[in-house]
Amino acid sequence: MRQELVNEIEATGNALLKTISSFSEEQLNALPFEGSWTAGQVAEHVVKAGDCGILYGNTAPTDREPDAKAPAIRDLFLNYTLKFQAAEDILPTQESHLKAALLQDLRQTWDKVIAAAQTIPLEDTCLDFEVPGFGPLTRYEWLQLINVHTQRHVHQLENIKARLTAA
């Protein structure tokens, strides 16, 4: 279970970095259409959402399979027909983004996610925050959520790139 999770997280991180690297500095801060985020804002949001603090907070033993909610999390976040509103604390700023700085922030964030997946007990339930509709999640499920949330945004970044390239 652990190695498969680590492999998935590494693949997602590689896809994210490759996708962001494909944007020019100008494209990174270009608005693809009204009401959208720029690619730089999406990347900033991923950095904020990838904070692993929840994984190192208060936990308790789990009385169910530690991956029980993972399929529902995956199904929800990888359903691209659904639109979500980001929580206030992980909303991106309106500032311009520098590509090199963003890539560095993304690498650092993703290294922490990989390190957590490799080292922490995955079966413990995190108590400091509950995702609405899911209740308490295990560390494994939180890592899955961070991963599929990022996959969702890689898809969004690919769409932004296509839109900007076609314009």
- pTM score, two decimals? 0.95
Contact 140, 155 (CB under 8 A): no
Please name the fold of domain 2-166: Four Helix Bundle (Hemerythrin (Met), subunit A) (1.20.120)
- pLDDT of 5: 98
Phi and psi, residue 158, nearest 5°: -60, -40
Angle separating helix axes 139-166 and 70-77, nearest 10 degrees: 10
- pLDDT of 130: 92
Please report, for the chain, the start and end positions of each structural domain, with discontinuous segments joined by +: 2-166
Residue by residue, pLDDT tens for the chain (167 residues) are 999 999 999 999 999 999 999 999 999 999 999 989 999 999 999 999 999 999 999 999 999 999 999 999 999 999 999 999 998 999 999 999 999 999 999 999 999 999 999 999 999 999 999 998 999 999 999 999 999 999 999 999 999 999 999 87
The number of helix segments (H) and strand segments (E) in the chain equals: 6, 2
- pLDDT of 82: 94
- pLDDT of 43: 98
Tell me the C-alpha distance between 93 and 44, whole Å: 8
Tally the residues of the chain.
167
